Amino acid sequence: MKIKEGIIISDKMNKTRIVLNKIIIKHKKYRKTILKKKKYYVHDEKNITKKGDLVKIIETRPLSKKKRWIIKKIINKKK
């Protein structure tokens, strides 16, 4: 199973959060650092996370059309 970290950027849906994952990579030829971003729709059963929280997510079976991830652990709560 895949595990990723990201920041919650939206908590407007019921039991669903949108998590933004940022990856910094180097270009093979030019050695320039590139920032890649990807959004994941994540299932949050008890609606305990809020916008700005840092979370660890884990891949699971498809729960809906776009949701294939669940929240495993809250790393840092935003105050």
The secondary structure of 18-78 as a DSSP string is: EEEEEEEEE-TTT--EEEEEEEEEEE-TT----TT-EEEEEE-S--SSS--EEEEEEEE--
Predicted local confidence at residue 71, as pLDDT: 97
- List the one residue out of 47, 45, 43, 46 whose CA is nearest residue 19: 43
Give this prediction's pTM.
0.89
Mean pLDDT by 10 residues, the chain (79 residues): 95 97 97 97 96 97 96 92
Predicted local confidence at residue 1, as pLDDT: 84
Q: How far is CA 62 from the centre of its chain?
A: 16
Predicted local confidence at residue 69, as pLDDT: 98
Predicted local confidence at residue 78, as pLDDT: 83
Q: 3-76: which CATH architecture?
A: Beta Barrel (2.40)
